[in-house]
Structure 1
Amino acid sequence: MAASTASVTAARFARIPARWAAPRPSEWALAVLGRPEIGSFLEGPAFDRAGTLYVSDLAHQRIFRIDPAGEVDVLVEYDGRPNGLAVDRDGGLFVADYAKGLLRIVPDSGKIETVLAGHRLEPFRGLSDLVFGPDGALYFSDQGQSDLRDPVGRVFRLGANGDVEVLMEGIASPNGMALSPDGAMLYVAVTRANCVYRLPLRPGGGLGKVGVHVYSGGGTGGPDGLAVSADGGLAIAQFGSGRVWLVDSDGLLAGSVRSTEGKGVTNVAYGGPDGRSLYLTEAESGSVLVARLPTPGTELYSHGGR
């Protein structure tokens, strides 16, 4: 991808406090990053109606809750691998858990419910991210350890009626998920192929012609988390580059957001009172960053629909 035409620098919004950030052994970090110890690995930013931000910690099985002033506490710590997060209209927190499948947490009580542990009597390969559609359908990626050598990743749809559908399979590392403002186009970050797919959603179910929306580039990883602006633009967290690429509704480069804390930008979410703040999870420093953008994010399902 070419250099940005307009660059914005993100400032620190919050950092995991020292009492929770000290490096300690992590089975996940050793297997995935080759590091026996790590303080945290932040992912999955998601806002509720009150402006509370939830972020997951893949390394140590925690979900943090951050208030609008940037104060951090632990919502829950459990035996799982929480990754992507999304809030439903009742305030429940849905979790794409790499180890346990699709979960729902009630924030007030911390109660954890299993929504789906697998598909057709088989466990998932390792869920990564998820997004609600305007009709209440939930789309989620089953990434596992898929890559270009073993493209076995899948994308699922859980209908509001409980029906589960495999929308697409044979993907080399499906990761971040986002929907166009009208809910008609599903975007999927394909990390190991360094691109973002567009999946046209048919009204009666299934997909239209699937194609590449954006070819990405830079860093040591690939496109990770995604977020959509109200005008149909896409924010793409490019892991290992310290950048979020901003593309317009046609998939053309419009700008970038630069991290000042590290290169491990994993995911993004629009928030703030007017929706014009883009929040970034930065895994190297255990920080959440924020940048002001001219266009707000598309209205979240949890905030009343689109």
Structure 2
Amino acid sequence: MWTQPPRVLQASLLSRLPDAQRRLRRSAWADANRGGQPVDSFLEGPCFDEDGTLFCTDIPHGRVFRVAGANWETIAEYDGWPNGLAPRGRELLVADYRHGLLTMDSHTGAMAPVLETIQSEGFRGLNDVICHPDGSTLFTDQGQTGLQDPTGRVYRLHGDGRIDRLIANGPSPNGIALNRAGTVVYVAMTRSCEVWRFSLRADAVVAKANLFLRIPAGTSGPDGMAVDAYDRLCVANPGHGQVWVADPHGVVTHRIDCTAFGRMPTNCAFAPDGRTLVISESQSGSLLMVDLPPP
């Protein structure tokens, strides 16, 4: 190794999905992703809206929760597989594996389609989404791509409806994040255990995309990501039960250990204070938290 071992931080429990809202049953999602074993939930997409309210998704049961302490309110329930969330005004954008890109009113839960196809071609299966300060939206189209089929895509949807295909050769593009200036895109490539980095240009020309961070190989690679006020990248790593924190140069500085709760941290987001990282841990059906110290 060329760097010092990362400092270890322990995640703590923020809130647990109540037993009354767990649905242990077989589902089409579990058949495809869990070998047919029933799951009571699979949490993803923690996100704070403009009011500082916390939301997250439950993929197999098509639910979006509004979370306040121990109270989990089902604000939306439908026949989709919602994954990543991103705030946009009083709305949340929803990356849905079945239905494409949706909006959800963060107060009422009302949902509407934004983009269901690309020139009549269906998506492979959307995974995550992020909003750019210029009003555009970036999202990953992961589906079942991987090392056997490196054709996952990353798109940018402009406010006027124009669409850029930024990446078309991704081995399972999953989480997506921007640096603070909005000039650099990070994409988690789950099946190659990598995070790619490339410059975001107005003309949509992507050149010199590079490997920014390599995640330890294992049963699963990097998932959701978040960037803090110091431009550090936090990368959830299911399988290993960790969230890795890398500085803007790609040097891993911290390792957030979630294994006291489970080995499936799937995504993360910073609370409005800019310091507290909230992590969805899907094996236990919990939201975890950790205070990330400054550099």
TM-score scaled by structure 2? Answer: 0.95
Distance in 2 between residues matched to 1:61 and 1:22, nearest whole Å: 11
Question: 1:295 Cα shift?
Answer: 3.7
Residues 234-285 of structure 1: per-residue CA shift (max 9 Å, x gap): 101011111001110000110111112100110010114x210001100001
Name the counterpart of 2:86: 86
Secondary structure of the 1:31 match is helix
**Unaligned 5+ residue runs, structure 2?**
none
Distance in 1 between residues matched to 2:223 and 2:4, nearest whole Å: 19
The question of 1:34 aligning with 2:35 is answered yes
Name the counterpart of 2:199: 200
Residues 29-68 of structure 1: per-residue CA shift (max 9 Å, x gap): 121111331110001111012221111111111111112x
Question: 1:207 Cα shift?
Answer: 2.1
Distance in 2 between residues matched to 1:186 and 1:228, nearest whole Å: 11
Distance in 2 between residues matched to 1:160 and 1:213, nearest whole Å: 29
The question of 1:63 aligning with 2:64 is answered yes
Name the counterpart of 2:235: 236
Name the counterpart of 1:76: 76
Distance in 2 between residues matched to 1:208 and 1:294, nearest whole Å: 34
Q: How many residues align?
A: 293
Secondary structure of the 2:21 match is helix
Name the counterpart of 2:48: 47
1:224–1:238: 8 Å Cα contact kept in structure 2?
yes
Name the counterpart of 2:209: 210
**Unaligned 5+ residue runs, structure 1?**
297-306
Distance in 2 between residues matched to 1:226 and 1:45, nearest whole Å: 10
1:268–1:280: 8 Å Cα contact kept in structure 2?
yes
Once the two structures are superposed, the pairs formed by residues 219-258 of structure 1 within 5 Å of their partners are: 219-258=218-257
1:202–1:208: 8 Å Cα contact kept in structure 2?
no
Distance in 1 between residues matched to 2:144 and 2:230, nearest whole Å: 34
The sequence identity of aligned pairs, in percent, is 41
Name the counterpart of 1:25: 26
Residues 120-166 of structure 1: per-residue CA shift (max 9 Å, x gap): 11110100001111111100000000010111100000012221111
Query: Is 45-54 or 178-187 further displaced after alignment?
Result: 45-54
2:75–2:108: 8 Å Cα contact kept in structure 1?
no
Amino acid at match of 2:77: E
1:232–1:248: 8 Å Cα contact kept in structure 2?
yes
Name the counterpart of 1:133: 132
Secondary structure of the 1:284 match is coil
Amino acid at match of 2:30: A
Q: CA RMSD in A?
A: 1.6
Question: 1:74 Cα shift?
Answer: 0.6
